[in-house]
Every structure is written in structure tokens, then in C-alpha cells.
Chains A and B, each alone.
Chain A
């Protein structure tokens, strides 16, 4: 029985969806059930959930004692301590709360380059992570950005909301210029509740990818960069005199492409990837390079876990 059926309480044969909507299949979904997003930081939740918070409350795990104050719930008085030390101490428990997870999918034109392989991959990553978040009763929110926040799916909880996630992702079309700084500033302004921000993007930001990530950092979000790359882009099939134009900005450049030029481009591409990784590493921003040529299951079940992003 598939995940959707189980969520919806439907019985019947598993129908595997194909195409753009085929974000993941049932087997994969079952594997996702055992995963949970890891946040380095502990955020204050709004609702009780499965995630520890700084707050003490009505959890199961004992946290501490404190002096009884009038008005406290008698049920939490530690009568053993009172009997031994003649002091009224109140038992404090770690409260388990939910985590705010923001999944931001870059829907700029560059993500739709070459048959939109990168956007498709980013959507699947986002869907998988959203499902993991929803399964752990975290509050999951999705946004799509270009140079601004294009679309937004409000925070939601529970596995049953995964369809909402699918619908949102399905409607994403690659269109617009990338400006992560402006887009994430809007995002920050719209989302006061701090939490884990997963940014799935190719980071082709002419204004600098660092700025966008820094916006999240400076606003106390826990950024997580899923860098969607298509290694084929390092080896463009070009030769001779060509006029290159940027699919986002429309900038044109006359280039005579030779084997040497292609070699240098590949080198520049690798340098760019390394620069991003270096930056994230130096800023302690978790970074995962999601190559579209790597099978999606591998990425989620192996790469993400190895990177410590999922447990």
C-alpha cells in the first residue's frame, strides 16, 4: 500500500506516478518515513511535537527542578524530594516541540536550462525533505524564488499535507532572474519564525550567491544549501564562432569556442563549485552538492545522511 493511500486511508493497488509529478515512489516514501531533518540549532517551537526545544514543559524526559511558585501545577511537584529535603520542588520536563522547516526552491530560468533537469531535481529534493519534515510533525513551508519570492506554501504539518506540497511544486515553472539576496530578504521579512531553511538552487546568481546565504545567516535562520548542479553544463557542446547569451539576463558575448576555451570553461566551472563549497564550509553552512546525474534515491538516502542532514 502506498504512502498516499496510507495517508488518505485508501486501500488498493499502488499506482506509481510518472513524469514531472513523479517526485518519488512508494518504496522511497517508506524509506523516508525513517528519516528526520537535523538542525544544528534548537529553535523554539510553537506546538508540541517530536523535537526537543529549549523550553521545559510537559514532555517525558526529566530536565530539572525548580522552586515551586504559587500557581504551579501540583501534579509536577516532586514529592520524594519534599519528603527527603522538606522542599517543594517542581519537576521540570523537556518539552518536545515542532521545527519550522522552510524549503526554498530556486525557480529561475537557469534552473530550467537543458530540459529543466535541475529544477526537476530540486523539486524532488524539496518534496522528499518536505515529506521527512511532515512525517516528523515539523512545520514545513515551501517557497519558490527568483529575484523575489514567487510562490509560497504556508507552514503546514502532518503527512497528509504532502499533497499540498506536490501541488505547489508541480506549479513551479522556471522563469525569472536569480537574485538570492533580494529574494531571501523578502523571505526573511515574511517568515518571522526562525527555523531550518533548505535552499535548493544552482546558485547562478550574478550578484553573488554569498549574499543570499548571508541574509539567512544574519537573520538567525539555519541555512542548508542543496546545490543542484548539472555536470553537463561544464562541458557545453559548442564549437566555432558563437554568440553566447545568458538565458536569464540576456547578456550577449561573442566567443570563438576552441578546445582550449572549452577546457578553460570547465576549469572555471569547477572553480565556481569549489568556491561555493569553500564559502559554505567557512561559514559552517551545511552544503550538499546534488548532481542531477546522481540517482535521486542515492542523494537522499546516502548523501544527505552522510552529510548529517538527515538521520
Chain B
């Protein structure tokens, strides 16, 4: 027996003091209430009978005192928190990783896998020993410890209740590393993984996760039978506008049957909440069915794909039955062409009906337009370079003089595009390698500028940013080349305008849940307001002009400056929204003008691995098979103080009853 609470000497002192006090109270007699009676002789007989039993009476009083002393002894002993030595040594330190990934929303067990998991963990909590300590952590795209390592069952149950399922896949390697770190150095450490087993391999960028041998790894499988794991999910959903006809778009989606049986489903495609297409599909077990919807129109903002099982079919996971995408809002961009006259340029701009083109001579620009402060989304300077840069994005064709955003150096003889930055958006779909240029000028890029095209003699195409506005500078007059005769010419122009206005025609799909999103936003307060799907609003930090958020919920999001007056950077021409590298996802942003107050984007699960919900019966990590859970029996606490307290309460109850029954008085 070991005292985990107060030391024995202290307990003895406490008991001694309390016992002395109780005894003193028993010895000291309270002054009795004096009551007159008319004839005391009548009482004498009764009192004579009482006197006959006075010895017993004294014994009863002594018994009462002994009961009090026993009570004090029990309470004092309880203060010592006595525990069996064996129990104290064997106290376990558990880290329970509760899977809250999308697959845990499966309803093959009632109410959901996560609900069943919580019930199982509650049983474990109630079966904790007196010396056991537990930490409950939510495992999804991140790992979230929901409290300190504790033996307090109510605190652990509260932590457990706060777990909510997400629409993301679980980052199992990270969770496992966290758990391993949490129990490092602790005796009888145990990691309990409560999951359906759809966790993937425990490998991350640092390699395989190794669980030390001294740490016991157990697996608490959740889920029904493999036959019940029937699910059809949308595993890919992508939308893009046509580059040269942005009123139309095409949709690519993929539906996968991850279950063991053939399923019939109904696939709906909705644009701005209106049904665009409805298809009935039959998928064989394990079949992945891609669908392509070309040349669609009618939706200007939102696109959603939904699947629903037809009678006779079953879909146990609703989380992957809905996919979302946002189309960039279309608007007419105001383009000012400052040129003494260039047919090639004007003709190329005619290709995009969403461009509002205004042509002005250099003189007219200098004398009228520039002083008037008229705003244009894009200004194209063709062979004319103003002394002062315009308040807008600009394309400089053969810039000259001090007004040029880049320094113009010596003349180049027959420069060509020997080096091209092909990933840059302005040269997308263009073939510039064999463009012939008779003469041009070498451009000198400043720090932060991007040399998109260069000849052996020096850069001739540069993209960059000055004063918050983007620019593209080309170091030759187009009429001194065969570029206007090529398809690349209008593409180069339209790509540049799109780059300025952020109307990216290729990546307009959505974010993927479980990734860290970095969404451009303008905020002076260092944080932005994010409206999340299903209501609710939260503030997210803004780092280097981008709101950073780990999204775990599929649906439509809205982002705005924290003070409400800021605008999402997506609304600022030239800004871009991008997911973290490697996700392969694109952006869906507002194309609204500078007056827009918010930007919106969509997020989807789109994870075939997560849609595959067949529960795994065992868990193998680094070749080590996780054991089964044991040693937790409900209702057995190993803390003796509870029983001591119960005994004290019982004694008090007995004393109370005997007092009121006049047995001990």
C-alpha cells in the first residue's frame, strides 16, 4: 500500500487533531435545557429503568464516539489517497487517437462510425484504473489533443464529446508521431488507435514512423462488416471555362464505387442551384467512372455535383456524395490602347468579347486621359511610354524612356525567344520559339520581376509588378516581327489581360479538404474573416497577403478582410489564389473589381482512398501489428479513497439512523 496523497505523518497529525476535537466534544457536556414538571415522581420510575441500563447507555455513547473516530480515520486515510503498490506501478499512460476523418462519417454502424468510436472510448475511459492517465486526441488532417493527460473521467469524456467528424482524410503519420512523442519517457505507455483503419501507410516526408518497442500499440477497429461498406463517391470534380469563350465551361468528374456490390446511382449536376444535367449510372464493384460534360453554359457562379443511390443500392458515406466548384465571376475588363495605330493589336483584342477596348493616341492619353484619372483595368502602351505609370495594369510594347517599368538597354539584332518561362500564365498555349524579330531592345529585369522570354543577347519579355499593379514589357515592336501573324500573338495578349484580372481560365475548380489553404486577401489587421459552410464565421491569420487556413469541411467559403472593409485579394486584379504546392488543385476566386468586398472559393474531399470505407480489421505499422485493447473494465476504479469516502458516508448514514431511532442516544 502506498500513499499517493498526503504523507502518513501528516495524516496522523490530522487524525490526531480531529480525534482530540471529537473526543473533547464528547467529554464536554452541553448545558441541558431546564424544564419544569408538575410531579417528578412520575419520571422517577422511568429514570429508574433507565439507570438499570446506564452501563449499556454508556457503552452506546462510547460506541457513538468510536463511530465518529472511525469516520475521521476513514476520511484522514482517504486524504492520503492510498493505493495498492502494484496498482501504482502499473498505472498506464494512454494516448487515444480518435479518427475523425471523412470515412468515420460512414453510417454502416449506428449512428456513425465516429459515434460508435466515441462509445467505445467512453467504455475505455470508464474502465480506467486509478493510476491510469489518458490523453484524447482528434486525428484528422491535423492532430488535435483535446486536453492534458488526465485521469479525470469527466474531463476525458468532455474532451471526447467535443470530437466532430471532418471532410478530410486523416494524417496518420503525423498523429502517430504526436502520440509517440507524447508518451516518450513514460512508463506503461500505450497508443490506442480508434479508427476504421482507412489510414494509409504510416509514412511521411521523414520516412516511416517508428513506434518504440516499449510503447504498446493497440487498435480498436470501428465499422461494420465488409459487406456493409457500400459506397459510391465523387472522386474527381473539375470545372474550367473555355479560354476564348468564357461564358461556356466544361466539367470533368469521376464517380467511384468503392463497395463490394454493383450500385445504381443518380448523378445530378447543378449550376447556380439549377439542375444542369441528371444521369443515372450503374457502377460495378470497384469501378471508376469518369464523366465529361463539354460546352456547358448557364451557370455563372456555383457548380455542384451530387449523387444519390437509387432504390436497391446503398451509400453509407454521405461525405463524398457532394462536390462543389465556383466559377470566376465574369465581367467586362476595360482596356485602353495607347497607340498611334496598330491594326494587329486592335484585331487581337477583338477576339475576346468581354473586353471593353478604348483606343487613344499617345498625345490624347497625355493630354486628356491621364490627367482625368480615368480608371482602366489594363492599359496597353504600343510604342509610347508615358512619363508616369498608369494607375492600373499595363502592357508595354517596345517601351522607351524613363517611364518604362524596366530599364531599356542597347539594341538587339534579330533577337529570338531562346529561353521561355513556359509555366508563366502569359505564355500558356503559345509557341514563341520560332518567332522572328528583326530588331529589339534588351530589357533589364529588376528584383522580383520575371523574365518570361529572352534571347541569347538578353531579356525581351518581362512580367512583374510596380506599385501594386502588374505589368508585361516586350522589348520589340510587334510590327518588326512576324508575331502578329501567329496564333501566339492574341493568346499572349489575352493571357496577359487574364493574368492581370485574375481570370484564370484553367484552374477554377476548388480546394481540397485537409490541405493548408493560402488564399490571397487584403487585410490591414493581420487576420481575415472566413465564413465556413453550414454557417459560422471565424478569423484566420493572414501571412504575406494570404489567409492561411487548414480546411476540413467541404462546401463554399467566403473570405473577407477582418474589418469588413478590406477586400479579398482575389478581387484585386493580378492576385491569385493557390493551394499549397503539390495538391494539384486550383483556385476558385472572385473576379470582381476593386469594389468587391469578398472572395469566395469551394472545397471538396475528392479522395478515392477516403471514399473506400471497408474497415480494416487489423492495423500494421512498420511491420508491427497493433494489439487488441484489454484491461479496461467498467466500474472498477483502483482508487481506494473513493471507497474510503463511501465507507465514511455509509457510517454517517448508520449514525444518522441510529441517532434518530434513539439507539445511540
Binding site for B on A (CB under 8 A): 110, 113-114, 202, 204, 206, 233, 236, 238, 240-249, 251, 253-256, 258-261, 264-265, 268-269, 272
Contact = CB atoms under 8 A, between A and B. Distances in A.
Given A253-B43, A253-B47, A236 B37 contact: yes
B34 interface: yes
A202 B38 contact: yes
B45 interface: yes
A125 B40 CA distance: 26
A285 B332 CA distance: 132
Nearest to B31: A243
A245 B33 contact: no
B30 A241 contact: yes
B36 interface: yes
12 contacts: A242-B34, A242-B35, A243-B33, A243-B34, A244-B36, A244-B40, A244-B43, A246-B36, A255-B46, A261-B50, A265-B43, A272-B42
Nearest to A243: B32
B36 A254 contact: no
A254 B662 contact: no
B32 A241 contact: yes
Contacts of A261: 46, 50
A202 B44 CA distance: 18
A246 to B, nearest CB: 4
Interface residues of B, number: 21
Nearest to A230: B38
A246 B43 CA distance: 10
Given A243-B35, A253-B43, 20 more contacts: A113-B38, A202-B38, A202-B39, A204-B41, A240-B33, A241-B30, A241-B32, A241-B33, A242-B32, A244-B35, A244-B37, A244-B43, A245-B35, A245-B36, A245-B40, A247-B37, A247-B38, A251-B40, A260-B662, A265-B46
A242 B45 CA distance: 17
A202 B43 CA distance: 16
A236 B30 CA distance: 22
B646 interface: no
B49 interface: yes
A251 B36 CA distance: 10
Contacts of A255: 43, 46-47, 50
A245 B37 CA distance: 6
Given A255-B47, A256-B665, A246 B32 contact: no
A70 to B, nearest CB: 64
Contacts of B50: 255, 261
Contacts of A236: 35, 37
Q: Which 5 A-B pairs have the closest CB atoms?
A: A246-B40, A204-B39, A258-B662, A113-B38, A243-B32
Contact of B42 (A243, A249, A258, A265): A265
Interface in B25-66: 30, 32-47, 49-50
A251 B41 CA distance: 9
Given A265-B43, A265-B46, A110 B33 contact: no
B42 to A, nearest CB: 5
A272 B39 CA distance: 11
Nearest to B39: A204
A268 B40 CA distance: 12
Contacts of A206: 39, 41
A260 B49 CA distance: 12
Contacts of B42: 265, 268-269, 272
Contact of A110 (B34, B38, B44): B38
Nearest to A114: B38
A158 B211 CA distance: 123
B39 A246 contact: yes
Nearest to B44: A253
Contacts of A265: 42-43, 46
A30 B38 CA distance: 36
Contacts of B662: 258-260
A242 B665 CA distance: 13
Contacts of A242: 32-35
A233 B40 CA distance: 12
A255 B34 CA distance: 10
A108 to B, nearest CB: 9
Contacts of A204: 38-39, 41
A192 B42 CA distance: 35
A258 B665 contact: yes
A245 B34 contact: yes
Contact of B39 (A110, A241, A256, A258): A110
A239 to B, nearest CB: 9
Contacts of B35: 236, 238, 242-245
A260 B50 CA distance: 11
Nearest to B35: A242
A215 B193 CA distance: 104
Contacts of B46: 255, 261, 264-265, 268
- The listed residue with most A CB atoms (<10 A of its CB), out of B43, B44, B662, is B43
A249 B33 contact: no
The residue among B38, B43, B50 with the most chain A CB atoms within 10 A of its own CB is B38
Interface in B339-377: none
Contacts of B34: 242-243, 245
Interface in B183-203: none
A233 B41 CA distance: 13
A268 B45 contact: yes
B48 to A, nearest CB: 11
Contacts of A202: 38-39
A261 B37 CA distance: 15
A237 B32 CA distance: 15
Contacts of A268: 42-43, 45-46
A248 B36 CA distance: 9
A87 B49 CA distance: 78
Interface in B599-647: none
A245 B41 CA distance: 10
A269 B37 CA distance: 13
